[in-house]
Amino acid sequence: DQQVKQNSPSLSVQEGRISILNCDYTNSMFDYFLWYKKYPAEGPTFLISISSIKDKNEDGRFTVFLNKSAKHLSLHIVPSQPGDSAVYFCAASGSARQLTFGSGTQLTVLP
Nearer Cβ to other proteins (51/67): 51
Per rule CB under 8 A, is residue 45 in the interface with other proteins?
yes
The rounded distance, in Å, linking the Cα atoms of 98 and 94 is 7
Q: How far, in Å, are 56, 58, 65, 68, 94 from residue 62 at the CA level? A: 11, 6, 10, 19, 23
Cβ closest to other proteins, residue 57 vs residue 79:
57
| Residue placing its CB nearer to other proteins in the complex, 86 or 91 | 91
Instruction: Tell me if 53 contacts other proteins by CB under 8 A.
Output: no
Q: Does 60 bind other proteins (CB under 8 A)?
A: no
**Residue 10, C-beta contacts closer than 8 angstroms, at least 6 positions apart:** 105, 106, 107, 108
Which residues in this chain contact other proteins in the complex, by CB under 8 A? 6, 32, 34, 36, 41-46, 49, 51, 89, 91, 93, 96-104
